[in-house]
Amino acid sequence: MLTSQKVAHRVPQLLRNLSEPSIFSASLQLSGGGMTVVLDHTIVPVNDLEQSVEFYTRIFGFEDLGEAGPFLAVRVNDSLNLDFRQSDDFRSIHYAFAMEPGEFDEAFQRIKDSKIPYGSSPLAQDNMRGPGITLGAKGDGKAVYFKDPSGHVLEIKTY
């Protein structure tokens, strides 16, 4: 049986063992321990720092935080920042952003207005169809997939 004590013991190890940066918006409430875990920030490797900040602020409306040590950062929400790191050697990473229906519609319109290829599923990222219905952390939701300037696969989703 997995107890809250065993889970609490494993959380730091699990977080250290992540092989690639990832993003999630969930928190974990461990019964009995009272511990809440929330992703605070993640490092996103990109080809061009300034271009990435411009893209994420324009498409998502994220706040430009400027320099954060060796990174350029944007604020996703009150509990999560993306720290962009200059790199020419990385694999594409999938980042999924859940939002309210109105915000989804606005972001999708900005994607279309920017003539960014988009798609209805993770396997059809540029079919110019969508939104599609795909599974996320809260079940099925309306989703659109597209790529950022560095080739990361992005998803906007609403439940």
Q: What is the DSSP string of 33-83?
A: TTEEEE--EEEEEES-HHHHHHHHHHHH-PEEEEEETTEEEEEEETTEEEE
Q: Are 97 and 104 in contact (CB under 8 A)?
A: no
The pLDDT tens digits for 33-72 are 678 899 999 999 999 999 999 999 999 999 999 999 999 9
Q: Are 5 and 35 in contact (CB under 8 A)?
A: no
Q: How far apart are the first and last CA of the chain?
A: 32
Domains plus CATH for the chain?
91-159 (3.10.180.10)
pLDDT of residue 34: 72
Model confidence at 136, in pLDDT bands (50, 70, 90)? very high
Q: How far apart are CA 150 and CA 84, in angstroms?
A: 11
The pLDDT tens digits for 88-116 are 999 999 999 999 999 999 999 999 999 99
Q: Which of 101, 114, 102 is nearest to 57 (CA)?
A: 114
Do the strands 41-46 and 80-86 form a parallel or antiparallel pair, or are they unpaired?
parallel
Token digits of residue 40:
């605070």
Prediction pTM value: 0.78
Give residue for tokens 């999708």. 108
